[in-house]
Amino acid sequence: MGGFIIVGAGEAGTRAAFALRETGYDRPVTLIGAETHLPYERPPLSKPDIGAIAMKPICSDEALLNARITYLPGAEVAKLDVAGKSLELSDGRSLEYGKLLLATGARPRKLSCPGAGRALDFRTFDDAKVILDRLNASRSVAIIGGGLIGMELAAMLRGKGLIVSVIEAAPKPLSRAVPLRFAAKLHKRHIDEGVNFHLGVGVSEILDNTVLLTNGTEVPADVVVTAIGVQPEIALAEKAGLATGNGILTNLFLQTSDRHIFAAGDCAAVEQPGGGYVRFESWRNARSQAQIAARNMAGANEAFSATPWFWTDQYDLGLQVAGLPQPHHQSVVRALSTGELEFYLDQGTLVAAAGLGIKNSVAKDIKLSEMLIASGISPNPAALADPSVNLKILLKSAKAA
């Protein structure tokens, strides 16, 4: 019987490989990644303050070696044989596993309009390099998609002095994951920085140097980038007969429909205690699921539960969101010297919090808010709104209660 194999050397896969060693698991660990680089972080690819696309490795060759993790870069798993507990790589090699982790992530959605092939994707380091190389000899860029990635890219490219247009089918940018209040503030900042927005409109064709919109507008663009969301990478699991939906379906313990196979990160749709499955696309989610999946592969029986959390940096502004704010929640706003916090109460209970401020100035308050959410308190809204009431005090009294 083989050791443990991990398919996908992104955030989830790589963290899981190291977490397996932290459990004391001593048999072979193999990490297989289709990309040719050392495992790297994706968030720095779109962060404006770095100036150039940064490659931030998750680990070094030496760390992999010291942890006795066999890393196979540039190797794509083409087939999974669940009954035979084996994998086939696209170069014909086959490997047997005792347990398997699928951490295959997600791939960019594609446009289907005429000329869609002219648009560039933005998911990997290689994608980022192609975009920047093309932009070195260009003046204008059109970004199709006004979500988190599209808006981060817009900020980064305005910083480089390019003419930036954002095309978004929804009436407002950032409407999917960002609370309304902060989506509006970020939108305004982009307008102030000179980004051209085309909202509530689709793309009918991409031509050389122009994007033609469904309302007849012609947007000049030397380079076109699509950032219209991602789809979970489930092809391997699906072909192998594992249960899939909007992701590879897992139970609370991140175990798929085959008990020897686990899934974590952007590809995993995890069963919820109240029914249904939820899939998150965020850096911290990938890391925390990786830890739990690794421990469960090594014999633990831990249910995954974590308050969802993500951040985005645009210009000198940093947004952090903990929990899942919903339109029906009661909103309580607290002004800060460098920004603003918004708390979300569901029938009096604090369930989510978000903050927007200069750089990562809201980080400490959001961390405390996460602890408050986890403690299940129903705080006095006036105390939440009052900047002179330290959140630490609220936490202390929640703990005491």
- Residues forming contacts to ligand FAD in the complex (CB under 6 A) are 7-13, 32-35, 42-43, 45-46, 76-77, 103-106, 122-123, 149, 233, 236, 265-267, 281-284, 286, 310-312
Q: Which is nearer to ligand FAD, 282 or 291 (CB)?
A: 282
C-alpha 105/C-alpha 11 separation (Å) is 9
Helix (H) or strand (E) holding 258: none
**Three-state SS annotation for 124-187:** CHHHHHHHHHHHHCCCEEEEECCCHHHHHHHHHHHHCCCEEEEEECCCCCCCCCCCHHHHHHHH
Q: Which tokens sit at 369?
A: 């808010």
- Using CA atoms, how far residue 14 sits from 9, 38, 117, 271, in Å, is 5, 10, 32, 23
Q: Which is nearer to ligand FAD, 10 or 339 (CB)?
A: 10
Q: Which is nearer to ligand FAD, 6 or 203 (CB)?
A: 6
CB of 248 to ligand FAD, least distance (A): 11
Q: Which amino acid is at 85?
A: K
Q: Which is nearer to ligand FAD, 53 or 212 (CB)?
A: 53
3-class SS of residue 347:
coil
For residue 285, how many other CB atoms are within 10 A of its CB?
Answer: 24
Q: Which is nearer to ligand FAD, 279 or 334 (CB)?
A: 279
CB of 8 to ligand FAD, least distance (A): 3
**Three-state SS annotation for 23-65:** CCCCCCEEEECCCCCCCEECHHHHCHHHCCCCCEECCCHHHHH
CB of 320 to ligand FAD, least distance (A): 9
CB of 24 to ligand FAD, least distance (A): 23
For residue 387, how many other CB atoms are within 10 A of its CB?
Answer: 12
- C-beta of residue 152 within 8 angstroms of C-beta of residue 164: no
Q: Which tokens sit at 28?
A: 């072979």
CB of 295 to ligand FAD, least distance (A): 17
Q: Which residue is nearest to ligand FAD (CB)?
A: 10
CB of 311 to ligand FAD, least distance (A): 5
What DSSP string describes 377-396? ----HHHHH-TTS-HHHHHH
Q: Which is nearer to ligand FAD, 28 or 43 (CB)?
A: 43
CB of 194 to ligand FAD, least distance (A): 22
CB of 268 to ligand FAD, least distance (A): 8
Q: Which is nearer to ligand FAD, 7 or 373 (CB)?
A: 7
Q: Which is nearer to ligand FAD, 153 or 395 (CB)?
A: 153
What DSSP string describes 292-318? HHHHHHTT--PPP----EEEEEETTEE
